[in-house]
A and B are shown apart, each in its own frame.
Chain A
Amino acid sequence: MNYALFFGCVIPTREPSYEASLRAVFKELGVDLIDLDKATCCAPIPIESLDFKTSLAIAAYNLSLAEEANINIMTICNGCFQVLSKANKTLKENETLRTDINKILAEVGREYKGTVDVVDYLQVLHNDVTPERIKENISKSLNKLRVAAFYGCHVLRPSSVLNFDNPEHPHILDDLIELTEAKSVQYMHKTKCCGGLLRGISDDLASKLARNKLFNISNSKADCIVTVCPFCFLQLDVGQLDVRRRFNETYNLPVFHYPELLGLAMGIDPEKLGLKTHRISTESVLKKIE
């Protein structure tokens, strides 16, 4: 089982711990990941907002790279997952657009054929690696831990494009979390947006949304949050400092990328997982699971 690994641009530049932990975990699980060297940004919603066509062309370019390698493309960022999936669907279904876009790609010496699929790494873990295999690799029980799973938006919606999980009551991440024997707690407005995309547009609204999220999670007496998207991570990790500043509320809720949590359960050294790079200290959690 192998995949073309698509990091996008935020993770490698801003959240190396996500990349490191993911590589580590997948190595342990024996999944080959082929890096797409010539890949560029997925051309996310800010770009799509300004010019749909440009964003579509850039996405098509990235997809064509995977097509060349002839393997499905695996994303680890909700933004990339949604943008690439949407582009892939549009181009597969809309012939006129496909010809348009291919005219553009021709100029950079590429062609979109529509031969690969876009999958999210959670799907890979849940459907291909399978929970059983993951369990085999787990050496440390996190059963003392109460974890708040946060899916973010673009892995769930629009479900008609992504069909990743039940968009209103998702469970895949919860399942994956509970493989570590940690308790995945329920909290209100679980599938609501973190506000990441409003950063820079209205920081005030962005942190209001982050705050609501933190508020609901803290009500559930969770020890930490697990995210699967670099933007959500920023909103809830770094975001907590902003929330403290604006609303003078301190939550001190450690935030993990899922592979980091899984890594801990697999007995990987927290150092290697890069937990130190988090803005909210993960010490409390590490203590609890000792």
Chain B
Amino acid sequence: MSSIEEEQEEQEKQEKQQSVLVLGGGVCGIQVALDLADMGFKVYLVEKKPSIGGHMAQLDKTFPTLDCSACILTPKMVDVARHPNIELLTYSEVLAVSRASKSFEVTILKKSRYVNEDKCTGCGICAQYCPIEVPNEFDQGIGIRKAIYVPFPQAIPLIYTIDKENCIKCGLCERMCEAEAIDHNQQPMKITVTVGSIVVAVGFQLFDAKNKQEYGYGRYDNVITGLDFERLVNAAGPTGGHLARLSDAKIPKKIAFIQCVGSRDEKSGNLNCSRVCCMYAIKQAILAKEHIPDADIHVFYMDIRAYGKGFEEFYTRAKEEFNVKFVRGAVSEIVEIPETKNLIVRVEDTETGELLEKEFDMVVLSVGLTPPSDSEAIENILGISKGEDGFFSSPDPQIFTVDTNIGGIFIAGTAEGPKDIPDSVAQASAAAMKASVALVQLTQEEKHVEK
């Protein structure tokens, strides 16, 4: 196979290392970064939050295997932190991108954590002594964190951050930190990097259930969203994994799941199916049963979309093994009983034509996926276009799944449209593939110029 040997040498000669920017540190961005880094490219991974991990880090278990989400994600997060080819820029945002001949010049703002990243050991003493407690966004505001914090124990990087809004500058953290990492005067930093390609993996934003007035989310204590539920059943969550009502900490015995909240809903401005809600609701129904075996659980749905590998079987198990009751009907309204804070769900069972008025202790809204909050900004900075659904879109989403209207910039994961984890991971690798091809071509062009 001499010819192949030669090719090998030829490949190895390609010394100059091309670099790439990955926007977003969720499971998708992580996969893109790892793939490209493994191919030998230099990767800048930019995440606006203090830690990578994205929504997946918030999940308790994954469907349909019920793997513990953290258990499969954290190793990958650790890999990112360890990888020699990856430069991790957390708590950072892209300010501007300009085309420099074939490549891109990217200006990144590194927001100040007011903690010296090199010195902080993540020991957590500071947080122990910090007197300020604020709702923890990572726990959907159900749990609390300190004004100096890491969002969750397995955070990568394990570096603390002071949120200035709430900090009272009492200086306790400063006094307690043996590493002398606290720096209240730390200034935000601008970094400029030149990359050959950009992959946008900024993920999604959950539909704001408050917009569905008739369900009373935000008004009724015991109406929660699917993501709230994930934190409620998670052992590392605010309740230590005890599924309880927010109004009175009682164990809910009757739980309803309501599907298509903000999906397939012209009125809510999201016509499309969010692709994950059916399965995560089924998963959560099963988890609820595991936490509260005698719980009576109803799922109110329009169509169950168990389309993926092993999904149908999972759906069947929920029905037959866990005796979860599935009722085909879109819930019309939820009424709170003022005294008990219980909830009356009003819905037609479209298979019997019966109007049901069922009382529940807790209602979980299976909210859909909507475009990322900062999609506007990114659209402006990168000049990549969106589809009718508001997600970033390829000019030909079918064949060129991960392309954008701008050569060298690619999209992946839920930033391109609702997806479950495997589809996001697959698309992540797909984008990595396209990016690598772009980078290789760039190298060849450069070689060409040299000659």
Contact = CB atoms under 8 A, between A and B. Distances in A.
B335 A167 contact: no
Chain A interface residue number, banded: under 10
Contacts of B213: 166-169
B219 interface: yes
A137 interface: no
Nearest to A190: B335
A188 B219 contact: no
A189 B335 contact: yes
A146 to B, nearest CB: 14
Interface in B331-374: 333, 335, 337-338
B338 A169 contact: no
B178 interface: no
A186 B338 contact: yes
Interface string A163-176: 00011110000000
B214 A188 contact: no
Interface residues of B, number: 8
Contacts of A186: 338
Nearest to A185: B338
A169 B213 CA distance: 7
Contacts of B333: 168
B337 A169 contact: no
Interface in B62-97: none
A188 B335 CA distance: 7
Nearest to B344: A188
Contact of A168 (B214, B337, B338): B214
Interface string B305-335: 0000000000000000000000000000101
A188 B337 CA distance: 7
A166 B338 CA distance: 20
Contacts of B335: 188-189
A169 B219 CA distance: 10
Nearest to A188: B335
A169 B220 CA distance: 12
Contacts of A189: 335
Interface in B385-435: none
Contacts of A188: 335, 337-338
A25 B214 CA distance: 34
Contacts of A168: 213-214, 216, 333
A188 B333 CA distance: 12
B179 to A, nearest CB: 51
A186 B335 CA distance: 12
B339 to A, nearest CB: 10
A169 B333 CA distance: 12
Contacts of B219: 169
Interface string B200-220: 000000000000011010010
14 contacts: A166-B213, A167-B213, A168-B213, A168-B214, A168-B216, A168-B333, A169-B213, A169-B216, A169-B219, A186-B338, A188-B335, A188-B337, A188-B338, A189-B335
Given A168-B213, A188-B338, 12 more contacts: A166-B213, A167-B213, A168-B214, A168-B216, A168-B333, A169-B213, A169-B216, A169-B219, A186-B338, A188-B335, A188-B337, A189-B335
A-B CB proximity, top 4 nearest:
A168-B213, A168-B214, A188-B335, A169-B213
